[in-house]
Structures are given as C-alpha cells and as structure tokens.
Amino acid sequence: MGMPVNRLAVPLLVLLILAMMVLPLPTLMLDVLLTLNIALAMIVLLVSLNARRPLDFSVFPTVLLLTTLLRLSLNVASTRIILMQGQTGPDAAGKVIESFGSFLVGGNIAVGFVVFLILVIINFVVITKGAGRIAEVAARFTLDSMPGKQLAVDADLNAGFINEVEARTRRHDIGREADFYGAMDGASKFVRGDAVAGMIILVVNLIGGIAIGLLQHNLGIGEAVGRYALLTVGDGLVTQIPALIISTAAGIVVSRASSEQDLSREFSTQVFGQPHILYVAAAVLAILGAIPGTPHLAFLTIAAVLSALGLWLARRQREQPEAELPGLIEDSAAPVDVTWDDIPPVDVLALEVGYRLISLVDRNQGGEALTRITDARRRFATDMGLVVPLIRVRDNLDLKQNAYRITLKGVDVAHGEMPSGQVLAVDMGDVLGRIEGAPGIDPLSGLGGVWIEAGREEEATLRGFVVFTAAELIARQVEQVFRQHAPELLGRVEVQQLLNTLMRSHPGLVEDVTPRHLPLTSVQAVLQQLISENVSIRDSRTLFETLAARAPNSQSIEDLVETVRAALGRSIVDRLFEGSNELHVIGLAAATETRLLNEMGDEGEALLSPTTLDALNEAAERAVAEQEHAGYPPVLLTSPSLRAILSRLLRRNYPQLAVVAYAEVPADKTVQVNSELAIIGGHA
C-alpha cells in the first residue's frame, strides 16, 4: 500500500524549503514563491481570526516555524539572485521584488529603508514581544491550573455529569492546551529571530551588492547604490510584510479566549453592541468638530455615522426581545422536571484535599499519596480478603490549603491538616531522647509523635523515631478509615464480585450456598460480621464449604458465624498469636460465666443489668492491662455460647480485645491462662 499524499505533503514541503537555500531559483519561480508566501500569510491570519478557541488552531506553532523557514529560504534565494544579477536592472530578482521596491515606495530608496525599519520595529518590539509575553504567562497559568482542571473532570465523571468518553476528551484537551501554550512560548522566538535575520540580510545585500557592482561590474558608485539598494529594499519589504501578518496572527491566537463565536462577531457585539456608548462617542466628536480650526467634515461625518449606528442598534435590540418572547414563554411553560438521574451518586470513599495538597494526589505531579493508598489497599486485600472500593480524589476549595477530609458514603469520618514543610516523627516505643516540636498523632497506630522541619528526618531517625511525610500520613489516615469501617465497605456489589471469583474455580460450591440455601443478603451479613471482628475472609473456599454444610440446618446469622469461625479457627489463632504453639490467654472465671448466663436467660445481653455491665467492663480493663503488661496479646477465651455476646459488649470500649471460643483453638495448640476476667459481687 502506498503512503497517502497528505502524509507526504509536509515532509516534501520542508525538503523543498531547505533545497531553496542551496539550489539557485529562476526569477519566475521566485516570483511564484514570494506570492505564495504572501498568500500563506493571509490564509494563516484569516484562520486565526475565525478560530473560536486557541486549540482550534493547535498546529499554529508548527505553521509559524514552517512559514519562518520559508521566508528565510526565500531571503537566501533572492539574495543569491540580487548579488549575481543585480547589475542587469530593477527586474533582476523578479517582478514581485521590483514592484515592492518601485511601486510601494515610489522608487525612493530612503523611504523604502525607513518603511522597512518601521515594519521591523513594529514586528520585533510591539507585536512579537507582546505575543511572546502573553504566551509565556498563559503557559505558566495553564500548567499551574492543570491539576485542578483534571480533578474537576474526575469529579464531574464521578458525579455522573459526564460520561467516560467526554471525560477522556476533556483530559486530552487539557493536555493539548498546556502543550499549545508551551509551544507558542518557544515559537514566538522564531519571529523575533526572523526580524533580526531580515535586518542582517538587508545589510549584507546592500554592502555586498554595492561591492560586487563596483568591483566586478565596473559600475559607478551612484549607479551601484541605485540598483542594489532598490532591489534590497524590495526584497526586505516583500518578506517583512508577510512576517508582520504572521506575527499579528500569532498575537491574535494567543490572546484569544475560548468562545462559541468567531472574533468578528465577538468584536462587533462587544465593541459596537451598546448604543449609549456610540451616542457618547458621537457627541464628543461633534463637539470637537464644532471647534474652529478642526477638520469639520471628518469629525462631523464620523459623528453622524456613529449616531446612525447607535439608532439602528437600539431599534434592533427593542425588536429582538419581541421576536424571542414566544419562545421564552414556551420554554418557561414547560420546565424540565427533576428526575432520579439528577441526583449525583454518593462515593463510598472519597478524599478531598486543599489546594496545597493537590500535588500529593495528582498523578501528573507524582501522586505519592495515591501510590501509598493503592499499596495500603493491596495489603488490606491480602490480609483480610476484602478489596476496598476505589477512593475518589478531588480538590475542595472550601478546605484550608493544607487540610484534607475523608468521607464515607458522603459523611465526614476523618479530617486533618498538614503543617507546611513539616514531617511527623512518631515514637514507636524505642527512642533515645526527645525532639522539640508540636505534638502530633499517627492516624493508623494512634501513637504520639512530634512535628519537625522536613530537613531533620535524619536526626529523628538516629534517635529511633519513625518519620512520616505528608503523603504517607494521608495514606495512613485513609487506611485507618477503611480498616475501621471495613464492614460498611462490604456491600452487595463486593459480595457478588467475591462470589464471581470463587465461582470460576469452584462453581458448584457457590451454588450450594446461594441461592439454594441462603439469600445473598445472609451471605453478606455473615461476611460483614466476620470482618467486624477482624477475621480474614481470604480463605473463601473453607468459608463457603462450611456455609454449604451448615446452611441446610440453620439460617441464623449468629449460628452461621460461629460455625464459620470454628472452621477458620487455625487462621484466627495464627493471626492473634503469630504462629506460636503456646497460647497465653485471658480466661473467663466460672462464677462470672454462670452469672452472665443466669441473668441473660433466653433473651441475651439485653437483660444484663447496668451494674453487671459496669463490673464486666472494669474486669475487662484489668484483665487487658495485666495481659499487655505480661507482653501477651489481649485474647479472651470463653465458651461458644458467650463468645459472640462478650465480643459485642466489649468491642466498643476495648477494640484491641479479641474474643475466641474453645472450638476455635486447634488441637495441637497449648492453652495457658495468664490472667482471668472475673466479676465478684457488683465489682471486678
């Protein structure tokens, strides 16, 4: 298959431009190319005037380079002809250069030089410098605003205002806009360099031509200056005018704000769209025209034109609302009703950050916090067997610049503020000496720490502190939230995803559980109860085999949970005691167990008296303190009938206390009661 012609056009054009710098051109070809250069400049100007936004002419930086290169190659080609054939007359370099040198400036060399210098000054000092400055500032602000724009696109996508295709298009446009202004910032240097090169070429043509005329062609000084100066001025003007047009187009493109209208319509609407302004201008001109000695005809004529234009606009504006009134009434009579689709969905987990923290959650700027949050989600999935839903990240201008907030189903569950330029040195229990600084807390472990300057990490590390950066602390706060609220994150969607994964390897096992014996809501309740007690559901095969065996005989969630815990006993005990064969536990006193069973009866913990509950909490506090002082994990061993009840009663005040039943302890483990939870009378 051959390459399409449109793909060959630009490479061939570049090669031809470069060839013109080396190969001599006939004067007819030079005339054609100079005319083409002027036509291209006009086309570029018209395209820039009709572009509604800068990205509509995103190829402009490349066009600017190619047109500049074309002008320089034409300068080289015309210089070659002028120096080689300039002695033959004013048409030595073609009719175009002759016309610009003779007709436009009337054959006056001095006037031609002055006009050329004025054009260069206008191009170099005014238009190009201004356009370059606009492009520089626009590039800087566009790059600074990229993170906010991208987060805004993500927020609109998450809220359902746009779909994935439109979001992808917007992100692409944001990147293109930054690339465009960055390219324009550099491309403006082409035009400035072209202006300098034009002045140098003018001097070279003039001096070189006069020298060649005097030395090689035996012309007189007056004749040599007349011929070569006229050709040089014509050559300079014929290339500098297109350069000025291109520079003007560049200024229009970079100064153009995005709009739904072209520049002509916007200009006429915004500049000449208010009749009272035209009336004031007409009145001022009429007053000036009435002053003796002023050009009455010019002032009064323009004043009359502006007055007539103002009257016409005023009449048109009065008529336009009447024409549009039926449409407005029709629209207002049938407003668009509110539907369920207008309610934006609530994110399960969302992280909102202030302006100064955007770089920590923006992937284009490193996004260190996002990387660490992903690592935390991966660790939690490996540890607990639950994949935490994606955390939606957005900027929130209502927050302080260094503040953040984490929401769970739209409710604020954690928030904080990161001191600028500081890190948190956390005391993990084995530090040497103290470090001065404001107190702080590690959100994941709950241990205290000290805020220190970012340059003192090495000092803190040598003293035994563990140092966390702002990105790490935000990630640890997010991890603390999803670990604490893990049961709420296990919705029906996540349960179905777990079933789909297990079905691929054990399809019959899933069918034996749900929907044959248990509805999906019951499976979800069992899994949520296990997660709430920090039991991993990663061994889904054992879990569902147990449910398949028990569900035909019992539909009670509590009974199913206890049966599953017994089946997962080795995993539960191994997590609590880290593989130790000797289990040092807290025992439940026989008298306390009897008292609890007698008070509860068949109704459960609802019948326990406040005195018994207070005494139970005091006993648990003492037992946990004794266990931790001895260096053992706080684990209470009790009978299966009391395990779930005691876990519910003690979990709120002592979340670190794990309650296990005798049936969960593997037979090859040795149990050693290290302390006892006992209620004596009304007190522990």
366 has a pLDDT exceeding 90: no
What is the CB-side half-sphere exposure of residue 441 using CA atoms within 13 A?
8
Indicate the burial class of 329 (C-beta count within 10 angstroms; 0-12, 13-18, 19 or more): exposed
Indicate the burial class of 54 (C-beta count within 10 angstroms; 0-12, 13-18, 19 or more): buried
* More confident call, 222 vs 350: 350
Dihedral-angle region of residue 302 (phi above 0 means left; psi in -120 to 50 means alpha; beta otherwise): alpha
328 has a pLDDT exceeding 50: no
Mean pLDDT of 494-514: 86
What's the order of all strands across the beta sheet hosting 670-677?
658-661, 635-638, 582-588, 670-677
The alpha-helical segments, DSSP class H, found in 551-601 are 557-567, 569-577, 590-600
The answer to which of 122-131, 498-507, 511-520 has the lowest mean pLDDT is: 122-131
What pLDDT score does 423 carry?
92
Mean model confidence pLDDT for the chain: 80
Q: Which of 94-108, 243-257, 642-656 has the highest mean pLDDT?
A: 642-656
Q: How confident is the model at residue 324 (pLDDT cuts 50, 70, 90)?
A: very low
Dihedral-angle region of residue 464 (phi above 0 means left; psi in -120 to 50 means alpha; beta otherwise): left
Cβ contacts of residue 249 below 8 Å, gap of 6+?
41, 44, 45, 47, 48, 49, 60
Mean pLDDT of 299-309: 81
What pLDDT score does 89 carry?
60
325 has a pLDDT exceeding 60: no
386 has a pLDDT exceeding 80: yes
What pLDDT score does 586 carry?
92
Interatomic CA distance for residues 473 and 467, integer angstroms? 10
What pLDDT score does 607 carry?
77
User: What's at 457, amino acid-wise?
Assistant: E
474 has a pLDDT exceeding 80: yes
373 has a pLDDT exceeding 80: yes
Which H or E run includes 530? helix 520-532
477 has a pLDDT exceeding 90: yes
Q: Quick one: angle between helices 221-254 and 95-102, nearest 10?
A: 90
What pLDDT score does 684 carry?
43
What pLDDT score does 333 carry?
46
590 has a pLDDT exceeding 70: yes
Mean pLDDT of 525-533: 92
* Cβ-count burial 471-496 (b if 16+ within 10 Å, e if not): bbbbbbbbbbbbbebbbbbbeeebbe
Cα dihedral: 127, 132, 137, 142 (round 10): 110
Q: Under a CB-based contact definition with an 8 Å cutoff, are residues 620 and 659 in contact?
A: no
Mean pLDDT of 506-511: 83
pLDDT > 70: what percent of the chain?
Answer: 83
* Sign of the torsion formed by the C-alpha atoms of 284, 288, 291 and 296: negative
Mean pLDDT of 232-242: 76
Cβ contacts of residue 350 below 8 Å, gap of 6+?
391, 392, 393, 394, 406, 407, 410
Q: Under a CB-based contact definition with an 8 Å cutoff, are residues 522 and 558 in contact?
A: no
pLDDT > 90: what percent of the chain?
Answer: 18
* More confident call, 412 vs 206: 412
564 has a pLDDT exceeding 90: yes
Q: Which of 8-12, 59-63, 324-328 has the highest mean pLDDT?
A: 59-63
What pLDDT score does 379 carry?
92
41 has a pLDDT exceeding 70: yes
Q: How confident is the model at residue 334 (pLDDT cuts 50, 70, 90)?
A: very low
294 vs 24, 88, 286, 300, 303, CA distance in Å? 56, 51, 11, 10, 14
Interatomic CA distance for residues 60 and 180, integer angstroms? 9
Q: Under a CB-based contact definition with an 8 Å cutoff, are residues 437 and 452 in contact?
A: yes
580 has a pLDDT exceeding 60: yes
Interatomic CA distance for residues 393 and 425, integer angstroms? 26
What pLDDT score does 267 carry?
60
What pLDDT score does 90 carry?
60
* More confident call, 164 vs 35: 35
pTM recorded for the entire structure: 0.53
